[in-house]
Amino acid sequence: LTARSFKQPLLRLSVSCAALSQCTMVAFMGVITVVMEDQGYSYSDAVFVIEMHCFAMFFPSFFTGHLVNMFGAFTINAVGVLLYVPVMVTFALGDSIDNFWVGMFLLGIAWNFTFTASTVMLTSNYREGEAERVQGINDFIIFFSAGIAAFSSGYFYDYFGWTTVLLVVGVCELCLAGLIVAAWSYREKADNQQLLSPSAPREGGAFSATKEAAAASNE
C-alpha cells in the first residue's frame, strides 16, 4: 500500500519539496558562521545572524497554519519557494552584516512556509493506515538529504568558496521551483479529488480518516 501511495504525484511533491527546503536551510546554516569568521566578523555578529534565522524559522508557525487554511498548501508552498529568490539575491549582493542577517532571516521564513505546507500536503495524500510508514519514509528522506547537504556545503566552501555554495544551492532552488510549476499544472485535477481545497475534506488521507472516526463516535 505504501508503494502505491508514493505513486501519487502530490505525495512525491510534498516529500521532495520538504527535502529540498531542508537541504537549502541546512546548507546555508552549516557554513554561514564560518563564512562570517573568514570575512572578519566577530562571534557576537555570527550569533546575531543565527538568532535572526532561528526566530524567522519558528515564529511564523503561529500563523502559517492559518495561512494554509486560508489559501491552501499549494499557494503557501509557492510563496515559500518565491522567498528563496530574495534570499539568493541578498547573499549574492555583498558580504556586509546586513546581507548575512537579512538573507538568513528570509531563509528562515521561506523554510517555514515550504516545510509546513509540504507537511500538510503529505498528510492529505496517503491512505488510511499508512501514516506511520509514509511519515517514516518521509523523515528518512528529508534528514538523510539534509545530512548530505550539511557535509557538502562545508566541502564546497572549503575547496571552492562561498560563490560556489550559492551556485549549488541555486540549482537546488531551480529544482524546487520546477517541482512547484509541475505540480501547479496538476492542481486542477487535484482540486477535483478535493485534495487541495482548505475547506474540503481530504479524501483518503489522515484528515478524512480522523473525520470519519469522529463521526462514527458521535453515532
Burial class (CB in 10 A: 0-12, 13-18, 19+), 3: exposed
pTM (2 d.p.): 0.83
pLDDT of 35: 95
Query: How many angstroms separate the CA atoms of 201 and 142, rounded?
Result: 27
pLDDT digits (tens, 9 = 90+) for 129-153: 788 888 899 999 999 999 999 999 9
- Please say if the pLDDT value at position 106 is more than 90: yes
C-beta of residue 99 within 8 angstroms of C-beta of residue 3: no
Write the CB contacts of 179 (distance below 8 Å, at least 6 apart in sequence): 13, 16, 17, 20
Give the HSE-up count for residue 73: Cα atoms under 13 Å, Cβ half-sphere: 28
